């Protein structure tokens, strides 16, 4: 992306200004003159764009990630949002009581979400 900006465009000037500001900040932190710090040399030709096909390089990790995400979304929308309405309509409890009960259901649902990271690590390694 950086190679696609014309050298005198506003984006290119902002990028150069950001590098100079970073250089000044680093020089201040190191207590040296900014001119003594070299500017980084970036070889634009050496940086390659990542193709979409790299996403499918690890199909097992991708599948676990997609299924975990699908399960969490289904739980979030299906249970947490619609179940209190079902309680009110089918069981005849008041909306306030159904909402109160589902506070605890929501809190209980936080535990599997926090543990799902460890499941991904165990399955994919």
DSSP track, 73-120: HHIIIIIIIHHHHHIIIII---HHHHHHHHHHHHHHHHHHHHHHHHHH
Q: Does the structure show a pLDDT above 80 at 12?
A: no
What residues does each domain of the chain span? 2-36, 52-124
- In the structure encoding, which two tokens stand for residue 31, read together? 């207590």
Instruction: Read off the pLDDT of residues 23-59 as tens digits, 9 standing for 90 and up.
Output: 888 888 899 998 888 877 777 656 677 788 888 888 9
User: pLDDT over 70 for what percent of the chain?
Assistant: 72
Q: Does the structure show a pLDDT above 80 at 124?
A: no
CA angle 26–28–31, rounded 5-degree value: 110
């Amino acid at each position: 992306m950086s190679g696609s900006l014309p050298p005198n465009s506003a984006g290119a000037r902002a990028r150069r200004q950001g590098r100079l500001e970073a250089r000044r900040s680093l020089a201040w932190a190191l207590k040296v003159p900014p001119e003594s710090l070299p500017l980084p040399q970036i070889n634009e030709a050496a940086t390659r764009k990542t193709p979409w096909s790299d996403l499918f390089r690890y199909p097992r990790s991708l599948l676990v990630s997609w299924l975990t995400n699908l399960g969490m979304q289904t739980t979030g929308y299906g249970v947490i949002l619609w179940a209190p309405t079902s309680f009110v309509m089918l069981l005849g409890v008041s909306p306030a009581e159904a909402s109160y009960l589902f506070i605890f259901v929501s809190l209980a649902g936080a535990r599997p979400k926090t543990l799902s990271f460890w499941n991904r690590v165990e399955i994919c390694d």
